[in-house]
Amino acid sequence: MSLPPDANDAPAWIADVDNPYLHGIHAPTAFEKTEHDLPVEGELPEDLHGTYVRNGPNALLAPSNLYHWFDGDGMVHAVHFEGGRADYRNRFIQTTGLLSEASAGKALWPGVMGPVDAAGRDPFLKDTANTDILWHNGALLALWYLCGVPYRLDPVSLETLGPEDFGGQLATTVSAHPKVDERTGELVYFTLSDFEPPHMRYGVVSKEGELVHEIPIDLPGCRAPHDITITENFSILHDPSLFHDPEVLKENGYRVARFHRDIPTRFGVLPRRGRSDEVRWFEFEPCYVLHMVNAWEEGDWIVMDGCRQPDPQIVRRPEEGVLASMLGYLRIRSHLHRWRMNLRTGEAREEQLDDLNVEFPLPDTDLYGVKTRYSYHHYLPADAYTVDFKALVKYDHESGAARRYDYPDGWHGSEAPFARRPGAESEDDGYLMSVVTHDQTLLSECWVFDARDIERGPLARVKLPQRVPSGFHATWVRGDRVKPAA
Ligand SMILES: [Fe+2]
């Protein structure tokens, strides 16, 4: 395959690395910038007040072995909206791994593709904090997908304030995708352990940032869930049928994920501050799930909607050479699905809600835990070379209808969080933001959509002062939680 064009804002060392995830829209940027009052095509809504923040990989130094898209050092990009104007800034997340490697002037950890030495450095993989971003207790938290240290960031300056230990009580790592319950301010999280039981722990952090509840979860072995869900009273733990063998990881240094078609996917329901022995497991058809939309209670039922991968077996194509494993993992087939669990009878039901290939779903995240009607996803062409956001998709979970906006040729989108409009008259009365990058011009913009009418296309296109590399998760921080960028 030929490598895409490179912008001149990328570090010079990428020229020596033949890996598509270090070039074109994926290339890291070498710069941290702050720019105010950006040019806008169209009109920014006067009532859009707050900050869009997106996390993603941005390698500072040349990799020591095969580079994976998940390996890059975490970098956050923020667009602050206020009074019809927009500002931009981006900053590296100053993780221990980044600081150690910057000091050494070279990569010290192997990438996730391995081989890794599980008995070597602690941690044996670099915790890049490059995956998730959310707001809790006055700051942003950046988190890594293989469980790591939560890093606390200033929501205005994006300065790394340091590791978050929840009042000195956190003794473990934390996975990406904790859920914040806006009604109580609590943060609900899980973490995983490859080698030693318990292979999962579950915890609750108070609105004030104190770890108030933490328990071991008894799993049959090493597992690889990526998400957790909440309702008003319960938390739902995930035990999907795709996981790796820790013995292979220990002996050979490779994390080889395998789809176990004979092992049910399970979801464990427990009261938010429940005990380990209160977890009730419900069994479903084998699958994998990266991201859920939301969950809520309906009488005796727990209802949970998410993006289900019915056949997540990693298919390696020999013609893709050394990248075959990574690309096999990244070719996702995923559909909107509903699982129901009856807490009185123990009954479990499930149904596919649509057949479009979608992922990176978000509802109005202020409504995590209560019934939501709408969610916002990205469409991934099933035959795509890799994860590539080609259309913004809005689901109505009551009617089952999907509406979509296809990005024009050459433009690639990012996860699109929802910003509720002040005085909103309906659940979808608000805005969606997506950072987009063109694969030939390598220009980036932040597009603002009316969530009630995404087919209309962006209301406004904010011209960003530099290319934003492709990335992972994004969040919206309300204006009353951030001050205007200085
Ligand atoms: Fe994720």
Distance 358 CA to ligand 1 centre (A): 13
Question: Of how many residues is the chain composed?
Answer: 486
Q: Answer yes or no: are the C-beta atoms of 235 and 188 closer than 8 Å.
A: yes
Distance 226 CA to ligand 1 centre (A): 6
Buried b (16+ CB within 10 A) or exposed e, 232-248: eebbbbbbbbbbbbbee
Distance 473 CA to ligand 1 centre (A): 7
Q: Rounded CA gap, 235 and 120, in Å?
A: 35
pLDDT of residue 313: 83
**Nearest 10 degrees: CA dihedral of 44, 361, 32, 62?**
-150
pLDDT of residue 254: 85
Distance 143 CA to ligand 1 centre (A): 10
Distance 291 CA to ligand 1 centre (A): 6
Q: Report, as an integer, the average pLDDT of 72-95.
A: 98
Distance 144 CA to ligand 1 centre (A): 9
Distance 288 CA to ligand 1 centre (A): 13
* Neighbouring residues of 453: CB distance < 8 A, sequence distance ≥ 6: none
pLDDT of residue 4: 59
Q: Rounded CA gap, 149 and 223, in Å?
A: 19
Secondary structure class of 325 (helix, strand, coil):
helix
Say what the pTM is.
0.96
pLDDT of residue 3: 53
pLDDT of residue 485: 43
CA dihedral sign of residues 467, 470, 471, 477 = positive
pLDDT of residue 304: 98
Q: Would you place residue 352 in the very low, low, confident or very high pLDDT band (cuts 50, 70, 90)?
A: very high
Distance 344 CA to ligand 1 centre (A): 32
Distance 40 CA to ligand 1 centre (A): 30
Per-residue pLDDT of 329-347, as tens digits, reads 788 899 999 999 999 999 9
Distance 42 CA to ligand 1 centre (A): 32
Distance 112 CA to ligand 1 centre (A): 16
Q: What percent of the chain has pLDDT over 70?
A: 98
Per-residue pLDDT of 382-413, as tens digits, reads 777 777 899 999 999 999 899 999 999 999 99
Distance 146 CA to ligand 1 centre (A): 10
Distance 462 CA to ligand 1 centre (A): 26
Per-residue pLDDT of 169-218, as tens digits, reads 999 999 999 999 999 999 999 999 989 899 999 999 999 999 999 999 99
Q: Rounded CA gap, 228 and 290, in Å?
A: 10
CA dihedral sign of residues 362, 409, 54, 82 = negative
pLDDT of residue 108: 94
Distance 409 CA to ligand 1 centre (A): 26
Please determine, for residue 452, whether its predicted confidence score (pLDDT) is greater than 60.
Answer: yes
Distance 359 CA to ligand 1 centre (A): 10
Distance 176 CA to ligand 1 centre (A): 6
Per-residue pLDDT of 15-33, as tens digits, reads 999 888 899 999 999 999 9
Say which amino acid occupies 33.
Answer: K
